[in-house]
Amino acid sequence: ETGVTQTPRHLVMGMTNKKSLKCEQHLGHNAMYWYKQSAKKPLELMFVYSLEERVENNSVPSRFSPECPNSSHLFLHLHTLQPEDSALYLCASSQDRGASRDTQYFGPGTRLTVL
């Protein structure tokens, strides 16, 4: 798991707070991903970054805002979240988002609780 790291591991925030999740990959990959894992639901892809390019899932609310300053770092900025946003947020990376054979490697996740 040291290939992809995420901080913080746990986060509790109120609905009016602003916080950020951080992901860093040490694998030399070019693509990074944010997934949301909620109880009793399949993992949901939120965002994909490849180098400078962001591709957004249209169903993700604007209260989630990704940022990718370089190919090794990925952030997820959070503001005015709702209790239903409580979930495990997983970051992943792969060599290239356009290569179907590539394996995605996941970080340990951030357990987010919105009060």
Chain residues that interact with other proteins, rule: CB under 8 A? 1, 4, 6, 31, 33, 40-43, 45, 47-48, 50, 55, 57, 90, 92, 97-109, 111
> What's the closest the beta carbon of residue 76 comes to other proteins, in angstroms?
15
Q: Which is nearer to other proteins, 75 or 105 (CB)?
A: 105
State the Cα–Cα distance between residues 79 and 71, nearest whole angstrom: 24
> What's the closest the beta carbon of residue 90 comes to other proteins, in angstroms?
6
Q: Which is nearer to other proteins, 53 or 115 (CB)?
A: 53
Residue with tokens 């990925």: 74
Residue with tokens 């959070």: 78
Secondary structure letter of residue 85 according to DSSP: G
> What's the closest the beta carbon of residue 84 comes to other proteins, in angstroms?
18
Instruction: Give every CB contact of residue 9 below 8 A, 6+ residues apart in sequence.
Output: 108, 109, 110, 111
